[in-house]
Amino acid sequence: MRKLAIAAVIAVAVVASIGVINYVQTPEPKRVDIAYDYVVTQGLAESGMEKVEINGTLWNQGEKEARNLAITALFIDEYHGKIVEKPVRIMKENLLPDERINIHAKYLREKTIPKSTVEVKIKVGWEEDGQRKVKILPPVKSSKQPPALVEFNEHIGRYHDRFILELNPTKKGDYEVIYQFKENEEAVKCGDEVFYNVSDENPITFSFPINETSYVEYHVEIFGLDGTLLDEMHASTEVVQR
């Protein structure tokens, strides 16, 4: 009976030890985490032009320092078919955990009739663990998990009266895309869109009419829904398929 009791005590101790081991979790790695709080206003300026302005604050709510910080305001003006990039002057090159910086940028344009809105995004770049990282703010959704690595293959269709660009991912997923197209150096199409369930069978696709002899340029940036830059491409074409 005494041996049975000792065996029972040992069994309980082993079970308890296993429970403790299973309960212990691996701590998350330290990283940079840029947070934001800003407002965008759009209205008439004193000159009669229309002014779009952004004012706010960015801060590092992560546990690591963001080095060689670079901030750009993107004014996505779909009415005029162009994206205007305005570098944001900042007082700090590096951003320690819990440090804050103020941001300000503005864009002037001719008043539109009917009234149209300009979408504003903030692109933040920094160095972390020897790598350059870029995020777009605000993201479509927040996430604490790093995005999966993915690349996109470009397939260009250039016809007499139409330009087609298909982007096929190496991994199926949902992506935010900021794009700018020019025809003969004139802005013709831009935007910020979210594409869901993107795959080889369902690629990101852009298609619009052009002149047969046109020279077409494009700049496309693809982000995860958490705002992380995944891929970027810039190319031009004047080839006509017959």
Which domains does the chain show, CATH number per domain?
Answer: 34-137 (2.60.40.1470), 152-237 (2.60.40.10)
**pLDDT at 128 exceeding the cut of 80:** yes
**pLDDT at 23 exceeding the cut of 60:** no
**pLDDT at 11 exceeding the cut of 50:** no
Work out the average pLDDT over 8-18: 42
CA atoms within 13 A on the CB side of 157: 11
Q: Who has greater pLDDT, 4 or 41?
A: 41
pLDDT of residue 21: 42
Q: Which amino acid is at 125?
A: G
CA atoms within 13 A on the CB side of 169: 24
Distance from C-alpha of 231 to C-alpha of 198, rounded to nearest angstrom: 14
The residues, ordered by sequence, that sit 6+ positions from 20 with a Cβ below 8 Å of its Cβ are none
CA atoms within 13 A on the CB side of 24: 5
Residue 149's pLDDT band, with cuts at 50, 70 and 90, is: confident
CB 91, CB 82: distance < 8 Å: no
**pLDDT at 144 exceeding the cut of 80:** no
**pLDDT at 131 exceeding the cut of 80:** yes
Residue 26's pLDDT band, with cuts at 50, 70 and 90, is: low
Cα-based angle 66, 70, 72 (whole degrees, multiple of 5): 135
Distance from C-alpha of 196 to C-alpha of 227, rounded to nearest angstrom: 15
Work out the average pLDDT over 188-201: 96
CB 235, CB 180: distance < 8 Å: no
Q: Who has greater pLDDT, 43 or 48?
A: 43
Across the chain, mean pLDDT equals 87
Distance from C-alpha of 54 to C-alpha of 125, rounded to nearest angstrom: 18
pLDDT of residue 239: 54
Strands (DSSP E) found in 45-99: 50-60, 67-77, 82-87
Q: Which amino acid is at 27?
A: P
Q: What is the pLDDT of residues 157-172, one digit of tens each?
A: 888 889 999 999 999 9
pLDDT of residue 3: 47
- What percentage of residues in the chain have a pLDDT greater than 90? 71
**pLDDT at 68 exceeding the cut of 80:** yes
pLDDT of residue 5: 46
Look at phi and psi of residue 232 and say left if phi exceeds 0, alpha if psi is from -120 to 50, else beta: beta
Distance from C-alpha of 175 to C-alpha of 224, rounded to nearest angstrom: 5
- What percentage of residues in the chain have a pLDDT greater than 70? 86
Residue 24's pLDDT band, with cuts at 50, 70 and 90, is: low
Q: Who has greater pLDDT, 228 or 146?
A: 228
